[in-house]
Amino acid sequence: MANQDSRMTTSEPPPAPQRATLLRVLLDLDAAVSLHIYTFFHPIIPFPLLKSLEFSGDGRLFFPIILSLLLTRTTSNLLLLNLLLGSFLDLLLIGLLKHLIQRPRPVYNKNMFLSFAVDHWSFPSGHSSRVSFIATLFYFYADPVRQVLVALSKFDAEAVFVKYFVVVVGLWAAITSVSRVLLGRHFVLDVVIGACLGVAEGTFVVRVFNYEKLSSLFI
């Protein structure tokens, strides 16, 4: 009887079945949907088109353009300075999040040039945040942007190119973000969160972190 009691007290309960966390389920679903989208569209959409969109939203192109325009002083310095401030903010925030979360990129991501060590990681999409930030800032500065276009071109204020330029920029941002999944660089969730961050950054720059307010602190 004693031996039976001893066995009863020392026996361990059977291990509980492992339950997938909600986050794991979400990530697995995200990976499956992303792979399905990539597999379906990859043979259809030309690779050079996707690469062109990738290049158009690359920070290695964006920063030199802003600095060149600032040096030439042919456009609105206020808009360019806020673009520059927001771009540095985006670079720091995306780099920090990638470093902290460290989600691997899709296994089918091929031939990608890595500018920084954190580019090994997928979440969130830096391209999506960058182009969404640009589109958001252009939306808030729509009138100054149109004035610059009129000053730099032969178009008048009612020309279609001028009137809908901000809309075109928004469409470019959306298509470029989607192309990150089609190119196999990112998962859908990376792109969605990246785009949301870009919109939030644009709003933050316009409302709080802009050249006008920062310069007033030192005057």
Q: Which of 36, 42, 120, 186 is catalytic?
A: 186
Q: In residues, how long is the chain?
A: 219
Residue 186 known to be catalytic: yes
pLDDT reported for residue 205: 93
Q: What is the pLDDT of residue 23?
A: 85
Token representation of residue 192: 């969605």
End-to-end CA distance of the chain: 89
The residue written with tokens 């090994």 in the block is 120
- Extract the residue ranges of the chain whose pLDDT is less than 70: 1-20, 73-76, 113-116, 152-161, 217-219
Domain segments of the chain: what residues? 20-216
What pLDDT score does 77 carry? 77
**Phi and psi at residue 121, in whole multiples of 5°?**
-95, 155
pLDDT of residue 73: 60
Partner residues linked to 121 by β-bridges? 104
- pTM summary value: 0.83
Q: Which of 36, 42, 120, 127 is catalytic?
A: 127
Q: Which two tokens stand for residue 111?
A: 């031939």
- 99 an active-site residue? no
3 state SS for 13-47: CCCCCCCCCHHHHHHHHHHHHHHHHHHHHCCCCCH
| Exposed/middle/buried for residue 113 (C-beta within 10 Å: 0-12, 13-18, 19+) | exposed
